[in-house]
């Protein structure tokens, strides 16, 4: 048995687990190459923003290793879970998992928390993705990395560039995720607060003079800060003057909407969530948790100096310093810090700016896949903040999602009626709706029901935002759908009008995405085909929000699935079958 000290006197011990994951990128007609990786997941003391804390790392590396492959390749990842206190699952964000829904990586929905010796098979399309833990709040503990699938050899992108760079951006707290989770379920609710730092490629910088010097255990000040640590030196993006670069960006933020800037350089958006989009030139880019983008930029500024790459908080009143990296022209030392001030983003509460930029994302001409002209079914999902038994929760149509102890996929496939909630959630919220004030009745109920769709049907989902329990407050919620890509049909302000608002839907060049933001006091409409047999979460990608109930489960075509591998079962009701 291995022992591990979380710091401040919390020794723990549990046996190791082993997992074998086989990722198949089998869009190619011919057999591609096979790449083998060995990953070891364990706790690690690390200082991403100069403040040391225990994180979840892969192979002693943070962020986790980047997987780069081509369509048609086979990637085998042998993952040893050496964490002494936790099981582990990995969600391959943006991957549809056609034919393999049990490997989506969502505990108690697609599978049980991972047991030793399992083999996973995944099918990918070319694009920019990432992977992350999906058990509890493991993503906020640093358990994530990039996943890039390039085109087959001989295929060409609809744009050209001289070099490629890739970064993952996120927000960062000094409190452990276990402290954060405890606060979420406490009475009264205890919010961890805004992040201490913003990280670019796992690096940021906290002002060590702000770290308390007291060592009294329990005051939250059991912190070590070293501004000279190489782990928190600014990340460097190296460029040559005159060259054009593709920069892949993924946001794994746990809470914050972020805005990315390359000081003095315009960016051209060319890809969103793995799909080509009409080129759009921007000076800064809003990023919502779960989104991925590719932008092109040319190193066409004065080459005698370096420039800032920066992220700022948007959508919430920012108290977190700007996250900074260095855009390094190769004629200068990579350690040469820009002499200019940190770049400034649009006002945090300029939601019109956010909405207008989101509307610029359209399918690229020549690559459009028009949505079906009409839906077979429509859902309107009202997001509200509520109380259940004295605890603060999030709810959809007044139901706060709570996972069952048995994977829903197996329960529905095999008809284990005692293992899931047989009552489906409502398709529409109760009327009348008042979205600009706290709910008159803040109470909601917990549930684990499932929306079941006819296989091959077309489904519209309208996400309707509203006020929280606090007056004059509505938040941005980035919604992510597992197992599918969807068309973003349109956005609006106020209460969605089913009679008139669909008349303005974009049915010509709507972008395909897997994550979309709904803005304060507004709505967003998406359309997808229920053509992927399985059970799929649709949830807010703000980690705490899904943890507190802001999500639903979709199911379709379960009769078309083969027998579920025993390796993904063994918990809850499934352990008896």
- The whole-number pLDDT of residue 84 equals 77
Torsion 92-135-52-12 (CA) sign? negative
For range 545-572, the mean pLDDT: 90
Tell if the pTM clears 0.85, that is, is over it.
yes
- The whole-number pLDDT of residue 120 equals 42
Residue with tokens 């089998």: 26
Lowest mean pLDDT among 81-95, 227-241, 253-267, 340-354: 81-95
- The whole-number pLDDT of residue 114 equals 57
Lowest mean pLDDT among 55-64, 73-82, 501-510: 73-82
- The whole-number pLDDT of residue 577 equals 63
DSSP 327: E
CA angle 477, 478, 482 (to 5 degrees): 130
Please report which confidence band the pLDDT of residue 14 belongs to, taking 50, 70 and 90 as the band edges.
very low
Report the distance separating Cα 480 and Cα 408, nearest Å: 18
For range 364-387, the mean pLDDT: 97
User: 266: number of CA atoms within 13 Å, CB side?
Assistant: 6
Report the distance separating Cα 342 and Cα 263, nearest Å: 9
Share of residues in the chain with pLDDT > 90 (%) = 69
- The whole-number pLDDT of residue 15 equals 32
Average pLDDT, the chain: 88
pLDDT at position 187 over 60: yes
List, for residues 281-322, the tens digit of each pLDDT value.
Answer: 999 999 999 999 999 999 999 999 999 999 999 999 989 999
SS3 20: strand
Q: What is the largest CA-CA distance in the chain?
A: 69
pLDDT at position 201 over 70: yes
Lowest mean pLDDT among 57-71, 84-98, 199-213, 376-390: 84-98
DSSP 7: S
Alpha carbon separation from 393 to 409, 427, 444, 478, 545 (Å, rounded): 25, 20, 8, 17, 8
pLDDT at position 27 over 90: no
pLDDT at position 389 over 90: yes
Nearest to 525 by CA among 483, 554, 497, 553: 497
Residue with tokens 């276990």: 178
- The whole-number pLDDT of residue 106 equals 85
DSSP codes, 261-302:
EETT--EEEEEETTEEEEEEEESEEEE-TT-EEEEEEE--S-
- The whole-number pLDDT of residue 576 equals 63
Q: How many helices (H) and strands (E) would you count in the chain?
A: 4, 35
List, for residues 109-139, the tens digit of each pLDDT value.
Answer: 887 775 434 434 334 444 568 888 888 888 9
SS3 352: helix
DSSP codes, 45-85:
EE-TTSEEEEEEEETTBSSPPPEEEETT-EEEEEEEE--SS
List, for residues 336-365, the tens digit of each pLDDT value.
Answer: 999 999 999 999 999 999 999 999 999 999
Please report which confidence band the pLDDT of residue 222 belongs to, taking 50, 70 and 90 as the band edges.
low
- The whole-number pLDDT of residue 376 equals 98
Using a 10 angstrom Cβ sphere, with 0-12 exposed, 13-18 middle and 19 or more buried, the burial of residue 53 is buried
Which range has the top average pLDDT, 30-44, 100-114, 300-314, 559-573?
Answer: 300-314
Lowest mean pLDDT among 191-205, 340-354, 405-419, 510-524: 405-419
Please report which confidence band the pLDDT of residue 574 belongs to, taking 50, 70 and 90 as the band edges.
low
Report the distance separating Cα 47 and Cα 528, nearest Å: 42
For range 453-465, the mean pLDDT: 98
Nearest to 68 by CA among 9, 12, 151: 151
- Sorted by sequence, the CB contacts under 8 Å of residue 576 that are 6+ apart come out as none
């Amino acid at each position: 048995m291995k022992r591990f000290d979380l710091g401040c006197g919390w020794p723990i011990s549990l046996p190791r687990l082993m997992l074998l994951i086989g990722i198949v990128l089998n869009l190619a007609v011919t057999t591609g190459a096979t790449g083998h990786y060995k990953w070891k997941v364990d706790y690690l003391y690390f200082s991403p923003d100069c403040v040391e804390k225990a994180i979840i790392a892969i192979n002693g590396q943070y962020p986790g290793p980047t997987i780069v492959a081509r369509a048609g390749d086979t990637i085998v990842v042998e993952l040893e879970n050496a964490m002494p206190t936790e099981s582990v699952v990995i969600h391959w964000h943006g991957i549809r998992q056609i034919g393999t829904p049990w490997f989506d990586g969502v505990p108690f929905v697609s599978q049980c928390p991972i047991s030793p010796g399992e083999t996973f098979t995944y099918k990918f399309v070319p694009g920019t993705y990432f992977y992350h833990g999906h058990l509890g709040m493991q993503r906020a503990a640093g358990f994530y990395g990039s996943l890039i699938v390039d085109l087959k050899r001989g295929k060409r992108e609809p744009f050209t560039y001289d070099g490629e760079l890739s970064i993952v951006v996120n927000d960062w707290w000094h409190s452990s995720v276990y402290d954060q989770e405890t606060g979420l379920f406490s009475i009264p609710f205890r919010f961890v607060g805004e992040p201490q730092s913003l990280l670019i490629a796992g690096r940021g910088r906290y002002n060590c003079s702000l770290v308390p010097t007291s060592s009294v255990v329990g005051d939250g000040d059991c912190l070590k800060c070293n501004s000279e640590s190489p782990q928190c030196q600014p990340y460097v993006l190296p460029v040559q003057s005159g060259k054009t670069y593709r920069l892949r960006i993924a946001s794994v933020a746990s809470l914050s909407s972020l805005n990315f800037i390359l000081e003095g350089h315009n960016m051209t958006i060319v890809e969103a969530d793995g799909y080509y989009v009409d080129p759009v030139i921007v000076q800064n880019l809003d990023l919502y948790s779960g989104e991925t983008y590719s932008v092109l930029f040319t190193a066409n500024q004065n080459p005698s100096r370096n420039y800032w790459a920066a992220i700022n908080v948007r959508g919430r009143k920012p108290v977190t310093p700007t996250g900074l990296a260095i855009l390094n022209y190769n004629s200068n030392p990579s350690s040469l810090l820009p002499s200019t001030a940190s770049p400034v983003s649009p006002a945090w509460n300029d939601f019109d700016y956010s909405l207008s930029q989101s509307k610029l994302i359209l399918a690229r001409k020549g690559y459009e896949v028009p949505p079906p002209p009409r839906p077979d079914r429509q859902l309107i999902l009202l997001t509200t903040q509520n109380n259940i038994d004295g605890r603060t929760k999030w709810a959809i149509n007044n139901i706060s999602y709570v996972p069952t102890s048995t994977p829903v996929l197996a329960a529905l496939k095999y008809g284990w009626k005692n293992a899931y909630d047989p009552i489906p959630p409502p398709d529409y919220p109760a009327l009348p709706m008042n979205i600009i004030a706290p709910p008159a009745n803040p109470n909601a109920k917990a549930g684990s029901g499932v929306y079941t769709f006819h296989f091959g049907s077309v489904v519209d989902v309208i996400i309707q935002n509203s006020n929280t329990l606090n007056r004059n407050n509505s938040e941005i919620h980035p919604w992510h759908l597992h197992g599918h890509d969807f068309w973003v049909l349109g956005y609006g302000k106020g209460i969605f009008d089913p009679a008139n608002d669909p008349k303005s839907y974009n049915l010509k060049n709507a972008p395909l995405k897997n994550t979309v933001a709904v803005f304060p006091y507004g709505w967003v409409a998406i359309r997808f085909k229920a053509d992927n047999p399985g059970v799929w979460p649709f949830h807010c990608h703000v980690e705490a929000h899904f943890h507190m109930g802001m999500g639903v489960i979709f199911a379709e075509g379960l009769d078309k699935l083969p027998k579920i591998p025993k390796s993904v079962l063994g918990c809850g009701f499934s352990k008896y079958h």
